[in-house]
Amino acid sequence: MNIRPVMRSPMRNPRPHPRLLPAAEATQRDHGRIEFPIGWVKAWGTLAFNPVSALTGMTMAEICRSPDTRALVVRMMTESREIATRLGVTMRVPLEKRLLGAERVGHHKTSMLQDLEAGRPLEIEAILGTIVELGELVGAHADTLRSVLELARAIDPGRRTGAAARAAVEAAAAS
């Protein structure tokens, strides 16, 4: 796995996982701090809301206001927070505050839902697959994340061909 210095927020007392240590040490030598390749607070919401939106056809506000989808998003964000913690990242925004911010976005369709409706490939591997992979590397529980990833892969027009892809796009457009 290639960990590159692209995040600009310094972490206090970072303790990267042993398998990530060589890359992290190189980054620390070059920049004086350990950095990871994603902005965790943004990724934290994106990895939950984008696939849930694509799977349900719901907007950000609808996801937050539905008890079932809200509970799913909370489980996903809790699992991903544990992965971040094991990588030495501390979330500076409480989960509930992040959810309130997402709800305030209102009836916005996520980019993944827009891609699905347009028949474009989903960016599920970049958005969620990498987090599941990091979870595996650090031994974190990620069953909910993995299940949602598998479901999103199943509806991804970029992975499907012919009638199955058309049916997924038509179903998303009808919702």
Tokens of 158: 């970029």
User: What's the pTM value of the predicted model, to 2 decimals?
Assistant: 0.73
The domain ranges of the chain are 39-174
First to last CA, the chain: 38
Q: Compute the average pLDDT of residues 164-172.
A: 68
Per the model's pLDDT, the better-predicted residue between 40 and 7 turns out to be: 40
Task: Identify which of 73, 76, 83, 79 has the alpha carbon closest to the alpha carbon of residue 134.
Answer: 83
| pLDDT at residue 9, rounded to an integer | 38
| pLDDT at residue 89, rounded to an integer | 87
Query: pLDDT tens digits, residue range 105-123?
Result: 989 999 999 999 999 999 9
Question: Superfamily assignment of 39-174 in CATH?
Answer: N-(1-d-carboxylethyl)-l-norvaline Dehydrogenase; domain 2 (1.10.1040.10)
Q: Give the span between the Cα atoms of 125 and 25, in whole angstroms.
A: 26
The residue from 42, 65, 141, 166 that is catalytic is 42
Query: pLDDT tens digits, residue range 11-51?
Result: 444 444 455 544 444 444 444 444 554 577 788 899 999 99
42 assigned to active site? yes
Q: Compute the average pLDDT of residues 148-166.
A: 83
